[in-house]
Amino acid sequence: MKKSKRIHRIQYILAILLLVVSLNADAALHITVESHAGWGNAPTSNIRELCKNIALHFNEVLHDEHKVDGELTIVYRAQGPIAFYRSYFGGGPDEYKIGLTVTGTYWSQFSYQFGHEFCHIMQNHDVLRSASNKNGWFHEAICELANLWVIRRMGETWENRPPYPNWVSYRHQLLNYANGWMMSRPEVQYAGTGAEWLAQWEEPMRNGNAFDYARVAQLSYKFLSVFEENPEAWNAVRQMPASQEKMSTYMKEWYNAVDTEDKKFVEEIAKEMGISVVPVVAVATTLVADVNGDGYVDLYDVMIVRSGMQNRVSYNTDINGDGRTDEVDLMIVKAKALEAIAAAAPSKRKVKLTTWADVKRR
């Protein structure tokens, strides 16, 4: 009996902690749903709570400087879902507007549409619009991945924190929608690699005569594991560049644009498309391995670089200048430290071998 009470107490504490995290992640984003006959029997209050929950799943994995905050208005739009440009509705820098096209309580469809359009907001679509639409297809591809990612994630988190307690069981329908329809559609299947898809479709996409949501999902669904294993990868999406360059260059621009801790996610996405974004730097003898600047390369420098691989440090631990601190930097410092130790070691006095007869003659 005592054990059962302890388990319930732990579950209660965890639920409170999850609620606190949810409130903090969502506190600065206010969502309003305008009334419209087009919603049918779907209450605006339910639409609002669902969309809040979807936005929360993104905001809670974003760093403070990347969270989406401000005022978001959701309206019914019969012509199709859309994330409106501010210039269209006269919004300020912290105002957003999304149109959805769902009539009735089809919550999976609401999630599909809102997840996609909210991703456009995360991409700063007003800024991306200022560039050419040459890479618009790629922006759409990432948004098609976003709605898949968030629906699958909701299918798990709703076991403990659904928008309403009686929506707990609906998580199974969300998972069925994501796995049984979204990922199983024949039109999103592509047996080749991301590099092969890019070679086949990038140019037609850039020319604007081959775009199809399912077709771009063939590529972006290949990135799903990157985001499911590292949900914080959505921080990189907040930093997508406004560029017209082809993917071979665009991915390098994206890699250079993101925060240091987010570069690994862009690298993984680029790798799926057969693109290398990490600059190749020759390891020269002039590399500065004296990290703390005390005039020596020693164990202290090794310890600082090792710490820099996991934490933010005040020293420059990117020894080879490739934009990140990793095992390569650690190996360089270790090697330099061993060289310094060897050079500082006293030389051994040479011993001349002799015989007893030679000693007696002396």
Same domain, yes or no: 67 and 207: yes
287 assigned to some structural domain: no
Same domain, yes or no: 45 and 119: yes
286 assigned to some structural domain: no
Same domain, yes or no: 268 and 309: no
pLDDT band at 205 (very low <50, low <70, confident <90, very high): very high
pTM strictly above 0.75: no
Same domain, yes or no: 262 and 303: no
Same domain, yes or no: 300 and 242: no
**Tokens (6 digits) for 232:** 């914080």
Same domain, yes or no: 301 and 207: no
Tell which wins on pLDDT, 355 or 191: 191
Same domain, yes or no: 205 and 335: no
138 assigned to some structural domain: yes
Same domain, yes or no: 98 and 176: yes
What's the alpha-carbon Rg for the chain, to the nearest Å? 28
> What is the C-alpha to C-alpha distance for residues 291 and 272, in angstroms, rounded to an integer?
34
pLDDT at position 308 is 84
- 107-111, 287-291, 346-350, range with greatest mean pLDDT: 107-111
- Domain hosting 303: range is 296-362
Q: Is 5 helix (H, G, I), strand (E, B) or coil?
A: helix
Once rounded to an integer, what is the mean pLDDT over residues 19-25? 47
Q: What is the DSSP string of 149-207?
A: HHHHHHHHHTTT--SSGGGGGGHHHHHIIIIIIITT-GGG---S-HHHHHHHHHHHHHT
Residue closest to 58 by CA, chosen among 93, 97, 25, 84: 25
pLDDT at position 147 is 98
Looking at the predicted structure, is the pLDDT value of residue 202 above 70? Answer: yes
280 assigned to some structural domain: no
pLDDT in tens, 57-93: 999 999 999 999 999 999 999 999 999 999 999 999 8
Same domain, yes or no: 129 and 70: yes
284 assigned to some structural domain: no
Once rounded to an integer, what is the mean pLDDT over residues 213-237? 98
Looking at the predicted structure, is the pLDDT value of residue 339 above 90? Answer: no
For residue 184, the domain's CATH number is 1.10.390
pLDDT at position 280 is 64
Helix (H) / strand (E) element for 330: namely helix 327-344
Same domain, yes or no: 11 and 128: yes
Same domain, yes or no: 108 and 160: yes
- Listed in sequence order, the residues at least 6 apart from 33 whose beta carbon sits closer than 8 Å to its beta carbon are 44, 45, 47, 48, 51, 73, 74, 75
282 assigned to some structural domain: no
130 assigned to some structural domain: yes
Same domain, yes or no: 257 and 340: no
237 assigned to some structural domain: yes
> What is the C-alpha to C-alpha distance for residues 258 and 239, in angstroms, rounded to an integer?
6
Helix (H) / strand (E) element for 75: namely strand 70-76
Looking at the predicted structure, is the pLDDT value of residue 16 above 70? Answer: no
Report how far apart, in Å, the C-alpha atoms of 103 and of each of 38, 53, 107, 248, 298 are: 6, 20, 10, 42, 67
pLDDT at position 6 is 54
Count up the domains in the chain and report the number. 2
Tell which wins on pLDDT, 87 or 153: 153
pLDDT band at 253 (very low <50, low <70, confident <90, very high): very high
